[in-house]
Amino acid sequence: MTTILKIALDAVFGCRHSHVTRPFTLRRKTYEVCLDCGREIPYSLVTMSQMKGSSFSGKVSVAETAKAGAL
Ligand SMILES: [Zn+2]
């Protein structure tokens, strides 16, 4: 029942990505993975937080990751 309710809520409000993996870097991209929906959430090593509203297609996130790796 709880799962059904959660799926319904996710469908209406979208997944809140409250259960995520630890951030990790793969192929020069740093991200967390949501354990509920499987979405990759970009993670900034500069701010040490999830990058809201950005995606991997942007050059900014890659540049940020590269900058953090140089530190
Ligand atoms: Zn999610």
Mean pLDDT of the region 15-27: 92
pTM value is 0.56
What mean pLDDT, rounded, does the chain reach?
A: 79
Of 30, 10, 14, 13, residue with least CA distance to 22: 30
Q: Where are the domains of the chain?
A: 16-70
CA of 50 to the centre of ligand 1 (A): 13
* Distance from C-alpha of 51 to C-alpha of 29, rounded to nearest angstrom: 12
CA of 60 to the centre of ligand 1 (A): 23
pLDDT of residue 70: 57
CA-to-CA dists, residue 30 to 1, 26, 40, angstroms: 35, 6, 9
36-62 pLDDT per residue, tens: 999 999 999 999 999 877 555 444 445
pLDDT of residue 58: 44
CA of 57 to the centre of ligand 1 (A): 19
**3 vs 48 pLDDT, higher one:** 48
Give the DSSP letter of residue 59.
Answer: H
Helix (H) or strand (E) holding 43: strand 40-44
Q: Read off the tokens for 65.
A: 């990751």
CA of 66 to the centre of ligand 1 (A): 26
